[in-house]
């Protein structure tokens, strides 16, 4: 017994010494620091089979939760066979989040963005804002049901999935919460102050279903949650219970939250969890993020247990990003070198700290300085190719230890934070270990201090005191204390010690994908680095977007990627170019045909009519019944069939190819990009369509009609838009507004055609083939006139004009073997046996002195390996209008300026 006591005493002494090393000894180490770290390379690659190590803070501190990686060893939310994202996917997602943060922050910081270049929206960027990697378990309801929630300092409203799922719920590990089984649940009235607060917490105003408040929140990857705002009992620990917490009870949820029940909002808005529990915790919380998937960290509410070595920096408030936690970065040091970064590099765009962004983003000049200094100190190691956003990588496969320079961030108020090795290097493989930072694409984008850099720190958020604190080695101390606790337990009575260390008020916090996550069961669902970074990119996109939503009245522009969806040449004339527009709240992305020859925008809607499939797997169909903010309108439509069903206005459109659409005229929110939303657009909600391409949801009308999209957005874009149409293996763009128009654009007046006043008319005054201007009488074009059209593929010319063009072209191409015609293309050649072809130039001259030389793709239309044809066709008679088609427009930037009464062409505008 005495020997046992002696061993126990020795252990206690060791623990005290180790504890001293991690606290008071830290200051001594500071004075002895060198300007570099030597690390074991193996430490960068923790084993996925390592056992779960629990956080002592979460086990021994009131109001503290364990934090786990969602797919880590400690997680119960993953399955044995799941595979995770690779590094490329992780980085792609990470960049998406960053882009979103920047977008949301960029607009009202200064006026500089108003005249800057357009914002590009990837067709499918998979962006997600709010789907971070770290998870805690919270009890909800009476009796309480434990729910695994992503915790997010960049989100405000807490929400979970609820029964019944009126449309879709994603898969989660625990049973979906059933509010009817809880005695403490009740819905919130739509006349309540909390319902009115939803606009600041979610970006969307609350709506009403009967008298109940309805919320809708959407993230950057088009993930969303829609349901009822409610109040419920939340249980952090048995001694920390809160009645009447506002949260979202989501009955329609979709996105990249798989495994977890929902999200715990830790932002600064009044509806965030810290704000609602302020009387107990005074808006103070702290966390240590687990440094590997085999550990848990902690999320602790209140000031208990905060390290004595914490250093604080003031919280700065970012305009249009008031719910984010802003910080002021004043310097970066690499090794012993303080980088020469002008103060304005950080002060102009600002900076924030975010639990969901993986990789820290820096302004371009700051990142360049950091990268150059780091590379200079790492010159002894061979470089490796970059990965996604990480462009500074090294091949360390031949080394067991690596010496890397110290990286230190200095914040306003004197807080100096030295990053651990895991906050400096991001290990993809031994042959690809990268600098764990990335540069923003624009000087005006805010810097973001990401969670990789936070992993070796205890981070303290003191909302009441207006400050954020950092304490080094918070997790190291927890591990040492945990070791002492574990050894101590081994030498005392198990039952008593279990009671002692299973402390009240403590919950686990885990990395969503980590070994400690309750979402994990083995390797199943484990995200690889590519997916993690892809999601992280999406999260940043969404945050940036959130920060720039409240735009002042101005004219600006946004780019939408345009894709050529025509896969078969026999689909000519069916509208080959598609853009994706978000419709509704939450927004549903709809692929719409771009059509300058159509007026009304419309999309397929439920309830499905006679010929629209109601298959629940068809994601193209917009469901207005899931969008609580859809308003039906009564608007008189000229030149479109109109009828009424009860109080609702009905429309009907039939196209010349006998396709048709009919349904209700409605009004809803249209999202061009996440930062550019038009609140009220009239459109057709089609419940019956015939012969419409099943791959598209509908049509975007870009004509001159009052109901066209350009006309409805004229106050914002002044009836100006432009596009570059792509070839089938690329994307082009559709840009609303005047930003980004090429300086080389040449304009021709818009001509109004009798009986077709809403089309864009042109005056063709001449055609040149080679150096020969064709002898075409002026009356050939002036009598029927001409239009430009995005939906017509091959240009149609009056018979006499086409005959002159064809004859001149054939004369120049007589060295090549002719072949059979293909449909309407009657001048074709067999290119087999030739490596190159000499094709004569073709130019069109328009009224106003504008001459446009066509590119190669605008002259020859490749049908197959043995058929390359002249990309023009003749009309059947002289009275038919000429049409300048999309094939001839592919190499041009085409500008539509309805307000100025002109159309422009820029030959190098798409390069």
What is 588-614 written as a DSSP string?
A: EEEEEEEETT----EEEBSSP-SSS--
Task: Return d(Cα 850, Cα 689) in angstroms, integer.
Answer: 41
Total count of residues recorded for the chain: 911
- SS3 state at 211: coil
Write down the catalytic residue from 156, 354, 599, 676. Answer: 354
* 152 is an active site residue: yes
Q: CA-CA distance, 384 to 433, in Å (whole number)? A: 8
CB-based burial label for 799 (10 Å; 0-12, 13-18, 19+): middle
Alpha-helix residue ranges (DSSP H) falling in 344-502? 344-347, 364-377, 451-454, 474-490, 494-501
What is d(CA 359, CA 88) in angstroms, rounded to the nearest whole number? 13
**Residue in 340, 319, 322 with CA at minimum distance from that of residue 331:** 340
- Of the candidates 86, 125, 152, 668, the residue annotated as catalytic is 152
Q: Are 461 and 153 in contact (CB under 8 A)?
A: yes
Sequence-separated (6 or more) residues with CB below 8 Å from residue 733: 118, 120, 559, 560, 561, 562, 723, 724
Do 416 and 26 form a contact (C-beta atoms < 8 A)? no
Burial of 36 (0-12, 13-18, 19+ CB in 10 A): middle
Q: Which tokens in the block code for residue 438? A: 């990335």
Distances (CA, A) of 532 to 73, 219, 537: 17, 16, 9
- The CA-based angle 142-146-149, given to 5 degrees, is 125
Query: Which DSSP helix (H) or strand (E) runs through 860?
Result: strand 860-864
**Of 543, 179, 550, which is closest to residue 351 (Cα–Cα)?**
543
What residues contact residue 803 under an 8 Å CB cut-off, 6+ apart?
Answer: 874
657 classed as catalytic? no
DSSP E strand boundaries for 446-557: 447-449, 457-462, 467-472, 508-511
Contact 289, 132 (CB under 8 A): no
CA distances from 644 to 261, 621, 680 (A): 43, 23, 21
User: Do 699 and 601 form a contact (C-beta atoms < 8 A)?
Assistant: yes
* Beta-carbon-side half-sphere exposure of residue 879 (alpha carbons within 13 Å): 1
Which pair of tokens denotes residue 750? 């818009």
Tell me, what DSSP letter sits at residue 776? Answer: -
395/680 Cα distance (integer angstroms): 54
Q: Token pair of 694, please?
A: 């099943």
Which residue in the block uniquely carries the two structure tokens 């149609």?
Answer: 796
The separation between CA 465 and the C-alpha centre of its own chain, rounded to angstroms, equals: 32
Tokens of 369: 């300085």
Candidates 446, 460, 206, 433; CA nearest to 345 is 446
Q: What is the dihedral of CA 252, 222, 388, 296, to 10 degrees?
A: -30
List the beta bridge partners of residue 594. Answer: 700
Closest CA to 561 of 576, 581, 546: 581
In the numeric block, the tokens 């623990």 are attached to 15
Sheet holding 818-819, edge to edge: 818-819, 828-829, 867-870, 860-864
CB atoms within 10 A of CB 783: 12
Rounded to 10 deg, the angle between the 87-106 and 529-546 helix axes is: 0
Active site (catalytic) residues: 152, 354
């Amino acid at each position: 017994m005495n020997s046992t006591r002696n061993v126990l005493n020795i252990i206690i002494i060791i623990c005290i010494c180790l504890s001293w090393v991690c606290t008071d000894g830290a200051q001594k180490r500071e004075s002895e620091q060198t300007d570099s770290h030597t690390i074991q390379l193996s430490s960068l690659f923790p084993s996925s089979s390592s056992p779960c190590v629990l956080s002592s803070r979460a086990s021994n501190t009131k109001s503290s939760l364990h934090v786990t990686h969602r797919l880590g060893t400690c997680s119960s939310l993953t399955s044995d066979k799941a595979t995770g994202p690779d590094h490329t996917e992780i980085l792609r997602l990470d960049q998406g989040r960053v882009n979103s943060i920047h977008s949301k922050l960029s607009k009202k910081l200064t006026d500089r963005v108003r005249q800057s270049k357009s914002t590009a929206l990837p067709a499918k960027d998979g962006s997600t804002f709010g789907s971070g990697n770290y998870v805690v378990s919270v009890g909800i309801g009476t009796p309480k049901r434990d729910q695994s929630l992503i915790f997010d300092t960049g989100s405000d409203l807490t929400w979970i999935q609820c029964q019944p799922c009126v449309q879709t719920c994603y898969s989660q590990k625990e049973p979906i919460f059933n509010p009817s089984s809880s005695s403490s649940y009740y819905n919130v009235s739509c006349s309540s102050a909390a319902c009115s607060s939803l606009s600041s917490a979610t970006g969307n105003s609350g709506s009403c279903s009967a008298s109940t408040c309805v919320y809708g929140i959407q993230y950057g990857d088009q993930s969303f949650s829609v349901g009822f705002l409610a109040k419920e009992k939340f249980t952090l620990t048995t001694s920390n219970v809160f009645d009447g917490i506002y949260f979202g009870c989501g009955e329609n949820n979709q996105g990249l939250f798989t495994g977890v029940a929902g999200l715990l909002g830790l932002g600064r808005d009044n509806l965030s969890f810290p704000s609602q529990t302020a009387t107990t915790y005074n808006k103070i919380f702290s966390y240590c993020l687990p440094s590997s998937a085999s550990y848990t960290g902690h999320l602790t509410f209140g000031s208990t247990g905060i390290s004595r070595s914490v250093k604080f920096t003031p919280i700065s408030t970012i305009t249009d990003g008031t719910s984010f936690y802003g910080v002021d970065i004043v310097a970066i040091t690499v090794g012993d070198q303080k980088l020469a970064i002008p103060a304005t590099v950080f002060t102009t765009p600002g900076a924030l700290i975010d639990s969901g962004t993986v990789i820290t983003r820096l302004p371009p000049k700051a990142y360049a300085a950091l990268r150059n200094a780091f590379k200079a100190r790492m010159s002894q190691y061979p470089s490796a190719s970059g990965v996604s956003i990480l462009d500074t990588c090294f091949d360390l496969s031949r080394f067991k230890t690596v010496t890397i320079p110290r990286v230190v961030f200095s914040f306003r108020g004197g807080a100096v934070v030295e990053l651990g090795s895991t906050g400096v290097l991001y290990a993809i493989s031994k042959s690809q270990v990268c600098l764990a930072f990335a540069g923003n694409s624009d000087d005006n984008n805010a810097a973001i201090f990401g969670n990789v850099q936070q992993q070796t720190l205890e981070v303290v958020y003191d909302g009441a005191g207006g400050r954020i604190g950092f304490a080094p080695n918070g997790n190291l101390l927890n591990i040492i204390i945990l070791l002492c606790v574990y050894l101590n337990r081994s030498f005392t009575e198990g039952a008593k010690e279990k009671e002692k260390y299973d402390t009240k008020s403590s919950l686990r916090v885990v990395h969503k994908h980590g070994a400690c996550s309750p979402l994990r069961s083995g390797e199943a669902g484990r995200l690889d680095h590519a997916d993690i970074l892809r999601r992280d990119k999406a999260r940043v996109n969404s945050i940036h977007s959130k920060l720039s939503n409240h735009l002042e009245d101005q004219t600006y522009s946004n780019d939408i990627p345009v894709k050529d969806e025509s896969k078969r040449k026999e689909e000519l004339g069916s509208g080959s170019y598609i853009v994706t527009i978000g419709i509704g709240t939450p927004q549903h992305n709809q692929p719409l045909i771009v059509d300058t020859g159509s007026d009304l925008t419309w999309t397929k809607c439920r309830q499905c009519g006679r010929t629209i499939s109601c298959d629940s797997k068809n994601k193209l169909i917009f469901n207005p019944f899931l969008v609580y903010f859809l308003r039906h309108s009564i608007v008189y439509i000229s030149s479109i069939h109109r009828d009424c069903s009860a109080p609702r206005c009905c429309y009907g459109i039939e196209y010349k190819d006998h396709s048709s659409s009919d349904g209700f005229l409605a009004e809803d929110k249209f999202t061009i990009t996440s930062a550019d939303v038009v609140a009220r657009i009239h459109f057709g909600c089609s419940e019956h369509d015939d012969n419409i391409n099943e791959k598209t949801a509908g049509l975007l009308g870009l004509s001159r009609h009052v109901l066209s999209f350009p006309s409805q957005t004229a106050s914002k874009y002044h009836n100006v838009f432009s596009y570059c149409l792509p070839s089938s293996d690329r994307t082009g763009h559709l840009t609303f507004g005047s930003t980004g128009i090429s300086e080389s654009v040449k304009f021709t007046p818009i001509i109004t055609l009798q009986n077709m006043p809403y089309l864009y008319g042109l005056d063709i005054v001449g055609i040149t083939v080679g150096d020969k201007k064709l002898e075409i009488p002026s009356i050939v074009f002036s009598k029927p006139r001409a239009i430009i059209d995005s939906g017509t593929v091959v240009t149609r010319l009056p018979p006499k004009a086409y005959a002159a063009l064809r004859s001149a072209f054939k004369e120049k191409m007589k060295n090549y073997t002719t072949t059979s015609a293909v449909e309407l293309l009657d001048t074709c050649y067999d290119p087999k046996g030739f490596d190159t072809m000499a094709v004569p130039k073709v130019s069109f001259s328009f009224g106003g002195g504008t001459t446009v030389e066509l590119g190669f793709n605008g002259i020859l239309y490749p049908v197959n390996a043995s058929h390359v044809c002249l990309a023009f066709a003749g009309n059947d008679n002289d009275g038919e209008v000429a049409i300048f088609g999309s094939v001839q427009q592919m190499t041009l930037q085409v500008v539509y300026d309805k307000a100025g009464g002109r159309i422009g062409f820029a030959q190098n505008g798409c390069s």
